[in-house]
Amino acid sequence: MRTRTRWRSWTRWPTLPGKVLVAPKAHVEDVVSGFSDDGYVRVMQAVRRVALAVEEVLAPERVYLLSLGSLQGNPHVHWHVAALQPGTPYEQQQFHALMAEHGVAEVEPAETARIAAELRRRLA
């Protein structure tokens, strides 16, 4: 199976500015066995490419890469690429920074559009 990948420069309720979702175009439910060896390498290369663009555009302290979801909800394999803003206190980093229960990023639509445009430009 040839694995093509798409990415989105936004999520509906991002917890960090510039959070990006990367997903294969084909429906895949298992993050490991759902891919051929070659397909897995290609999708991870796409995730890395997006993460590098996020690093260039947002200059974060750290870029988080997560594959979340389950067969009970949101079964389509996808990766979250999230940039931790420099200066974020340690107790607000890692899982805390990624959970909507702790609030979502308050980013103006114009800033979100600017970030998305810059990511697209770097990924073109």
- 98's tokens: 């990624």
CATH superfamily for domain 5-119 = HIT-like (3.30.428.10)
- pTM as predicted: 0.85
pLDDT at 1: 43
pLDDT at 84: 92
pLDDT at 119: 94
pLDDT at 19: 87
Backbone phi and psi for residue 62, each to the nearest 5 degrees, phi listed first: -155, 150
- 110's tokens: 């114009």
pLDDT at 27: 92
Taking the CA atoms of 108, 64, 44 and 11 in sequence, report the sign of the dihedral they define: negative
DSSP helix, strand, coil percent of the chain (3-state; round to 5): 40, 20, 45
Residues of the chain with pLDDT under 50: 1-2, 9-10
CA distances from 25 to 34, 48, 62, 100, 102 (A): 13, 17, 27, 26, 31
pLDDT at 13: 66
Q: What is the largest CA-CA distance in the chain?
A: 43
Query: Could you identify the residue written with the tokens 């229960």?
Result: 101
